[in-house]
Amino acid sequence: MRSKSVSRLFVASLVLAPLASMLAWSVNGAAGGTAVSKGLFALAVAVEIVALVEMISARALFAPSDPGHLIWTLIVGFLALRLVAEFRNLSIVFGIVQVPGSIDTASTGMFIYVVALRYLYTIGDLLFVGALVAMIRAYKSTELSFELVATDYFYILMVWAIPIITYVLRGNLGVAGISNSDKYTPIYRLVAVFVGAVIASLCLVIRRFVALMGGGAVARVWNSVVAAGISRDASFLALALLSSAWRPGAEFLEQYLIWIFANCWLLAAVYQQEVVPRAPRAAVAEALS
């Protein structure tokens, strides 16, 4: 799989998806728009499966003794656990599992499946946080001088505006979504958006470290990861901002941003495989690419 082909398809999809939603709206109203949002979610899960396969291949390029081996193992774990959570969500979105109107009257098993297992996403996120912390420590262990610049702090500040605004508008977090929403949904989404901001901030730090070491092809990997993290975090902000005024639009924008998240991870995995074979093993270990 080549990055040029993936990126071209991705860019085309960014135009085609809104057009499909508008067409569905014009033909079948809100129901048509919801169908497109659900279809986009299913396609995003398919892309995440491909991204996981590609990331496993990227991880295999590292010897167990390389610093990058642990880091990319944790990232594979993050994507794998996220996929488990996505399959759970698919079963609810497409009615494979019938969720009662009031989750509080459901059986214990159903409550765990619908409410507790949402936090599989969060557990996966924590694996990714572990990978990012390990990478930052490995960079610092080189004893090179790594310093953030004013632009980095500005970007990090903008990232943290996402969870702060989402918190202010938290009353809207349980209004919309293509899967079921209940009184526990806003709590999960708040946790997710704050953890997402931590992830995006750490990614921006690593992006700066990569740039200080020369950037190049490795920078494309981490630019893609940064874009993935920010787009996922912004999906919660979209729900907070638009749910009350335009629920179908909020649901589409949420899935559109998740689509960006999935494709950016696929690009990161493909870029990683294109970087490592061209680099000497020692250089790979040093750059932790």
Global pTM value: 0.90
Q: What CATH number is associated with residue 58?
A: 1.20.1070
Percent pLDDT > 90 in the chain is: 68
Residue 246 and residue 168: Cα distance in Å, rounded? 18
Residue whose token pair is 């990614």: 203
Q: Which residues of 254-284 are buried (b: 16+ CB within 10 A; e: fewer)?
A: bbbbbbbbbbbbbbbbbbbbbbbeebeeeeb
Token pair listed for 172: 């809207």
Average pLDDT, stretch 186-194? 96
Q: Which residue has the higher pLDDT, 191 or 212?
A: 191
pLDDT digits (tens, 9 = 90+) for 10-66: 999 999 999 999 999 999 988 899 999 999 999 999 999 999 999 999 898 888 888
Angstrom distance (rounded) from CA 28 to CA 35: 10
Distance between CA atoms of residues 130 and 195, nearest Å: 12
What pLDDT score was predicted for residue 277? 57
Domain total in the chain: 1
Instruction: Tell me the average pLDDT of the chain.
Output: 90
Which tens digit of pLDDT belongs to each residue from 125-147? 999 999 999 989 888 887 777 88
Range of the domain at 232: 3-287
CB atoms within 10 A of CB 38: 17
pLDDT for the residue numbered 268 = 93
Tokens of 61: 């390029």
Which are the contacts of 151, defined by CB distance < 8 A and separation ≥ 6? none
Span 169-185, mean pLDDT?
87
Mean pLDDT of 79-90: 96
